[in-house]
Amino acid sequence: MPLPSSPLHANKNEPTTAQSPETSTLEDSPSLSKRRKDLFGDCALVEIIHLHDCLRGALRALERDVEALKQTLLRQDQSAVNELECRVNGRFKVIWSVFRAHSSAEDEFIWPALQLKTQG
């Protein structure tokens, strides 16, 4: 599943790493990202790591939207409140459904496979 086109990304310009551009470190550099992909590209767990990064990005976007909604409520701008409420609600529903499906898949497939590997 190609994650950049995931519905978790409402804005394709948002970072997909665990850190925002303002706090980016050398670890988030494109060259390091390419090296990781070259080293671990055939590992099935890489997609899970990418999905976790996407979830973090989606949660940051939700946090920004909730903060904007709070500020808009303080300004009592009802038209903007309605738009932001819809955006927050929609974003939360997508995040929650992806989280539930992902957690179920981890519980059903990933953790048992990891337990077998570490026991043997």
pLDDT of residue 20 exceeding 70, the answer is no
Amino acid residing at 73: L
- Give me the pLDDT at residue 75, please: 93
Q: Are the C-beta atoms of residues 110 and 23 closer than 8 Å to each other?
A: no
| H or E element at residue 60 | helix 45-75
Considering the chain, what percentage of its residues have pLDDT values greater than 70? 68
- 43-56 average pLDDT score: 83
- 15-41 average pLDDT score: 55
pLDDT in tens, 104-118: 888 888 888 888 888
pLDDT grade for 58, boundaries at 50, 70 and 90: very high
Residue 15 and residue 111: Cα distance in Å, rounded?
28
Q: What is the mean pLDDT of the chain?
A: 76
